[in-house]
Amino acid sequence: MVPIYGAGLWGPVWGYVSFEADHATLHGAYFDHESETAGLGAKIKDDPAFQALFAGEQPDFSSDNVFEIVKGGSPKNADGSEIVDNRIDAITGATMTSQGLDAAIDTWLGAYSAYFGNGGAPAAGCAHMHDCEGMQQCNGAHECDHNHMED
């Protein structure tokens, strides 16, 4: 789960974006706001259909535009179904809120690009980081051989 914080039209917007176990696909999103316009920008919180658009999408961590909220959203397949990519449809009538949320998502997901862009998290049990000189890739034991270090 990645926290998101940024500027909407009338004040701050914030929320969370969560990932599936593959660390490449969005599981979902939740957003809130302080003072966006009711029925327009406030839809980032009040409209479950807007938040549902994020599920199944895949941010592009190789791009400066990690995720996009744009008019028209994702391109469609021949059968009319949405192509899974890193774009969803902006909220009609809430251009500034959509752009602010888009910038916030790019900023905060971009901050994690080294983590997610490399295929995601380390193997289960290897989430601890060690500062052991010469330590090889984590084997899950989280042990360091300190005998090789000089006093």
Q: What is the pLDDT of residue 80?
A: 73
CA angle, corner 104, sides to 46 and 32, nearest 5? 20
Q: What is the pLDDT of residue 120?
A: 53
Report CA-CA distances (Å) from 138 to 19, 94, 134. Answer: 23, 47, 12
Q: What is the pLDDT of residue 114?
A: 85
Check if the beta carbon of residue 26 is closer than 8 Å to that of residue 54.
Answer: yes
- What is the C-alpha to C-alpha distance for residues 140 and 126, in angstroms, rounded to an integer? 5
Domain spans of the chain, in order of start: 2-116, 123-151
- What is the C-alpha to C-alpha distance for residues 11 and 46, in angstroms, rounded to an integer? 16
Question: Which two tokens mark 120?
Answer: 């995601």
Mean pLDDT by 10 residues, the chain (151 residues): 94 95 93 92 93 92 87 76 80 93 93 76 46 46 45 43
